Amino acid sequence: MRTIFALYLEQRALWPVVRELERRGWRTKRWRTRQGRERGGKRFTRNHLRQLLSNVTYAGQVRYRNEVHSGEHPAIVEATTWDQVQTLLQHNRLGGLRRLPGRSWLQGLLRCAACGTGMTPSQSTRGTQRYRYYVCLAAQRRGWHTCPVPSVPAEQIETLVIDQLQGLENAPANLGSIFEALEPPDKGRLVRLVVERIDYHGSQGTLIITLAPGGLPALAEQLPQQRDSHLPGAP
């Protein structure tokens, strides 16, 4: 069961997981009714998979009518994994992550140095509060215990990246203030002018930023335009 949840976080869509389950020969749970009839044991479909991933039983909960309560049975899936899967399911139902505004602007650049894999955006919800993270892909696939620091709060590491870019030699003096005023997609676009990759050493809480050739001059050309169009008070 944990493997199916991990596959969904890795593939980030239902169809690729359905195809992988078919390749492995996995079937839905087989069970017998009170009348002795066999049920289940069928090939997975998108609906089967969505229902499985949404089943609160695996999170140690029970559903009563429209309410969800804590159950007496232990959770099969870790709380962090459960939250990430529910967030991704919701996003995909609303039209897919690729069509949503890119809030996590380090996506595609940030890597877990300990595991040598990318770090992907994730989100969890507690009540009315939403929390963004970047999560090590290797930890998602092999288990959280395999990575020394499998996730990092998004705002924390994004601030650290801006601080390091601001400290670069020949970096524009107003880089930090301009970034602060930009929308996330614009931040991502500008960072990609400068940065080729970012390696996060979680156990030390440090970054190693690999710069793109000619990045700073290209960034300097863009900043006046960004300042005029995005800083507070601009017409």
Tell me the C-alpha distance between 106 and 161, whole Å.
Answer: 9
Tell me the C-alpha distance between 157 and 217, whole Å.
Answer: 24
Q: Over range 88-111, report the average pLDDT.
A: 67
CATH number at 2-99: 3.90.1750.20
Q: Over range 137-143, report the average pLDDT.
A: 79
Handedness of CA 117, 85, 162, 150 (dihedral sign): negative
Which of 83-92, 107-116, 207-216 ranks highest by mean pLDDT?
A: 107-116
Q: Where in the chain is the domain with CATH 3.90.1750.20?
A: 2-99
pLDDT at residue number 93 = 64
Q: What's the pTM value of the predicted model, to 2 decimals? A: 0.52
- Take residue 127 and report the two structure tokens written for it: 């009540």
Return the beta strands (E) in 44-150 as ranges. Answer: 61-64, 67-70, 110-112, 117-126, 129-136
Tell me the C-alpha distance between 198 and 186, whole Å.
Answer: 18
**Contacts of residue 227, Cβ cutoff 8 Å, sequence gap at least 6:** 174, 178
Q: Over range 133-143, report the average pLDDT.
A: 83
Band of residue 76 on the pLDDT scale cut at 50, 70, 90: very high
Return the beta strands (E) in 8-101 as ranges. Answer: 31-32, 38-39, 61-64, 67-70
pLDDT in tens, 100-125: 345 788 988 999 999 999 998 887 77
